[in-house]
Structure 1
Amino acid sequence: MRRNLSLKTNITGYAFISPFVIGFLAFTLIPMVISLYLSFTSYNLFTSPKWVGLDNFEKMFTNDPKYWNSVKVTFIYVLVGVPLRLIFALFVAMILNTKSRMVGTYRTMYYLPSIIGGSVAVSIMWRNIFSNEGIINSLLGWVGISPVSWFGDPNASLMMLISLSVWQFGSSMLIFLAGLKNISPEMYEAAGVDGAKPIRKFFSITLPLLSPIILFNLIMQTISAFMTFVPAYIISKGEGGPMDGTMLYSLYLFRQAFMFNNMGYAAAMAWIMLILIGIMTGIVFLTSKLWVFYESEGGR
């Protein structure tokens, strides 16, 4: 009787978790195993995969300048865009961390770009804003600055892409805002009694107590930035131009897979991207011992 009841309970539990298990196997684990196999093959979707061993990786590292350019562009995008986004998100969160009748509306308005920021429509809008006759160049002309060729200069085009990334700061802002709400006002009051100015309060109280949240946001936004695809594809019309200035890693991977039909090479690129993201995340975790403060442990 007990055995039957235990079996029935187990079957019920397995039934509840089966959607996740099936989804994980069908859409995550099995595709990963297949892509790992394809990374060692020459495959173009129309013929059977042909085993080539490490040829894809050898070509990637020694005979593909465009690959290394995509790595460089992506690292610039991540190392510039992610800190700017987090700084801007924290700045806005501190402004919104006030008691105001309209603060809820403002929070919603600032969060909206994160919801629609990765869409095709917003990328098209961004492209129009930075066109030769767009709003940005019109404002520059109004203040006496020569118009910028956003689509002719590779550095300018990358900065345009980074500005779109920074504009999508809403999700980080809400997380920072939740962290600011958990900081006791009494700590600021005590610091004020001791004569601390706002800047000293920020660096001595706000930043240390927010450091775990900064760590979380930094990791999540870094991973997200490495996988950015839609804005680069739409703004450059899938070409990664000018002069490969917006050829992010994910865009170059897409072009190899679906424009040149080099699925094996693209699979190898995907695994290298996974390794790069893992290395970057590991570096952030290792260095966090130096700057992340955990109140329960009395600091680092």
Structure 2
Amino acid sequence: MSRTASAATNADDSRTGLATGSKKRSRFWSRWETPGIGYLFISPWLLGFLLLTLYPMLLSLYYSFTNYTLMKPIEWVGLQNYERIFTADDKFVKSLKVTFLYVLGSVPLKLIAALLVAVVLAKAVKGISAYRIAIYFPSLIGGSIAVSMLWRNIFGVDGSFNSLLGLFGIEGTGWISNPSTALWTLIVLTVWQFGSSMVIFLAGLKQIPRDLYEASSVDGANRFVQFFKITLPMLSPTLYFNLIMGVINAFQMFTSAYVITNGGPMNSTLVYAVYLYERAFSRYQLGYASALAWIMLVLIGIVAGLIALTSKYWVFYEADAGRGKRK
């Protein structure tokens, strides 16, 4: 009996120890599960957002209602900057027209190029990774000042592009100095940087089930039909993402236009960001430039919102396939 009692006592002590250890562990992990610990981990990002994003945005909103010029004390003027922009600023209207032309020309062409190249590179061919890296590389350097200067030399009067045309007996022009062609040189540069969109399209193509293509082949569908009936509908969420990001980035385009043409000739490449920069750092009208910046923010939000509203008619989600709906 004594051995049985001793064994029972030891078992009770063991269970008690395990329960105590379990309680200690639960108390330890509960400390790490509190919201405060989570905020501690995201504090670097949170501080960066508050100090480098939110605070400058709110400060620029305040400046947009002032006559802030760096030369005189800040003076509150209310809505005068906005009234002046919409009623008496011809360059504002011109920059909006140029920006919309740039967006309408560059975004569709860039998406088409990225999608077609992604379809080609999605095939399992030996050495395909090297081709993907080579095609993606321009996106890493395309927005740099060095490439913009190179582009200016290529499309100059004595540039490489005119030399190439001369080999075929075609007399080139000053593509950058010609108001009718200057904007297209910037569009071509943007389309050349389709690598990022291409990589996203490649990821989307990998998610399309191969069974759909095999079934359609049995039914007699060729590749052309498969592309429009299978690839595009299944890839529409990826296309939607690339479209939104492409539009936002196109509205904010600055480096290429500033370095290559500086808004010329005859304001034919005066995109909105270049005009904003001119007001802020050439004329030192920071209050006026802040108002321009907030107008652009609202404009981008409206365009992105319109695209989002229309997405339910052309973006297909696999989860809704069984219900026959488009979200």
TM-score (normalised: structure 2): 0.87
Secondary structure of 1:228's partner?
A: coil
Larger Rg: 2
Deviation of residue 31 (structure 1)? 0.8
Deviation of residue 145 (structure 1)? 2.5
1:131 to 156, 172, 178: 156
Check if 1:71 corresponds to 2:123.
no
Counterparts of 1:63-102 in structure 2 under 5 Å? 63-102=88-127
Following TM superposition, where does structure 1 have runs of at least 4 consecutive aligned residues deviating by more than 3 angstroms? 5-14
> Any gaps of 5 or more consecutive residues in structure 2?
1-23
Check if 1:267 corresponds to 2:282.
no
Per mean C-alpha deviation after superposition, the further-off stretch among 34-43 and 149-158 is 149-158
Is the Cα–Cα contact under 8 Å of residues 95 and 272 in structure 2 kept in the other structure? yes
Distance in 2 of aligned mates of 1:243 and 1:146: 23
Deviation of residue 7 (structure 1)? 9.8
| Distance of aligned partners of 1:8 and 1:103 in 2 relative to their CA distance in 1, 3 Å threshold | closer
Percent identical among aligned pairs is: 54
Aligned to 2:308: 285
What's the Cα RMSD here? Answer: 1.8
Distance in 2 of aligned mates of 1:252 and 1:197: 49
Q: Which has the higher contact order (CA 8 A, sep 6+)?
A: 1
Aligned to 2:273: 250
Aligned to 1:168: 193
Describe the superposition over 1:32-58 as per-residue Cα deviations: whole angstroms up to 9, x where unpaired.
111001001111123221111111111
Check if 1:110 corresponds to 2:135.
yes
Aligned to 2:215: 190
Distance in 2 of aligned mates of 1:33 and 1:131: 42
Aligned to 2:264: 241
Is the Cα–Cα contact under 8 Å of residues 67 and 76 in structure 2 kept in the other structure? yes
Distance in 2 of aligned mates of 1:11 and 1:186: 48
Deviation of residue 73 (structure 1)? 0.4
Describe the superposition over 1:144-180 as per-residue Cα deviations: whole angstroms up to 9, x where unpaired.
3321221222220000000000000000000001111
TM-score (normalised: structure 1): 0.95
2:167 to 142, 157, 165: 142
Aligned to 1:276: 299
